[in-house]
Amino acid sequence: MFHKEGFAIIRNTLTALIAIDGTAWYFAGGFNWMVNLLIFASVVFAMLVLQFFRNPKRNTVLNANHIIAPADGKVVVIEEVVEHEYFKDKRIQVSIFMSPLNVHVNRYPICGAVKYAKYHPGKFLVAWHPKSSIENERTTVVVENETTGPILFRQVAGAVARRIVMYSKAEDKAVQGKDMGFIKFGSRIDLYLPLDAKIKANINDVIKGGETVIATC
């Protein structure tokens, strides 16, 4: 199963690869080692594109006390910081780095009402750069419910990712584990949690979006 954000890219990629391989075969007068190598490289590239846009089903167990992972990847930051855009006070930042091999569907970490949703154009520093959260292309979404209070999460583009898709709009109803966006070709997501949140993740944990519990409130 593939994500809808990949349909056009998958179609165009496969069409271009077939055209290139067919042209090479025609002018070479059939198969030879160069044509075979080109076809092999095309198959590998096509498989990489297909795996990037995969959209596996996730078993999200709705729980008002749980803040679940908004994306697949590795936990690279857990620290107390000042969040300057929305809260303007101290929060616990949990950052998840997504490599090009991860599933890149982004999901709501909690149920609730979308209180804030904004897109910010910006730079394309590598996703682990300390300033990527405030200088890179990014989005900021805040969802609130009575149990957790407001939770902020931010999609951050990286050096390769050049296309952030955000579905959230202010006053939308967020459902835990459901799609809120997609980032194409590697990036990170930052969560900003209350200081009293009980963090369940650890640095270097490999987590699964829509299933892994990041914290409880």
Predicted pLDDT of residue 26: 87
**What is the structure's pLDDT at 3?**
76
pLDDT at residue 173, as a whole number: 96
Which string of DSSP letters, residue by residue, matches 110-140? Answer: S-EEEEEEEEE--B---TTSTTHHHHBSEEE
pLDDT of residue 187: 81
Could you count the other beta carbons within 10 Å of the beta carbon of residue 65?
12
Share of residues in the chain with pLDDT > 70 (%) = 90
- Given a cut of 70, whether residue 159 has pLDDT beyond it is no
pLDDT for 130 equals 58
The residues near 145 (Cβ < 8 Å, ≥ 6 apart) are: 64, 110, 111, 112, 113
**Mean pLDDT estimate for the chain:** 89
What mean pLDDT comes out for the span 64-73?
95
**Catalytic positions:** 187
**What is the per-residue pLDDT for 69?**
97
pLDDT at 179: 93
Q: What are the beta bridge partners of residue 207?
A: 73
Give the C-alpha distances (Å, rounded to integers) separating 191 from 6, 35, 195, 210, 212: 25, 48, 12, 14, 14
**161 has pLDDT over 80:** no
Q: Which residues contact 16 (CB under 8 A, 6 or more apart)?
A: none
User: Which of 10-24, 78-92, 155-169 is predicted least confidently?
Assistant: 155-169
Q: Looking at per-residue confidence, does 129 or 207 come out higher?
A: 207
Q: For the residues 67-87, what does the mean pLDDT come to?
A: 95
Please state the rounded mean pLDDT for residues 98-113. Answer: 91
Joined together, the tokens standing for residue 24 give 């090479």
**Distance separating alpha carbons of residues 170 and 119, to the nearest angstrom:** 12
Q: What is the pLDDT of residue 162?
A: 56
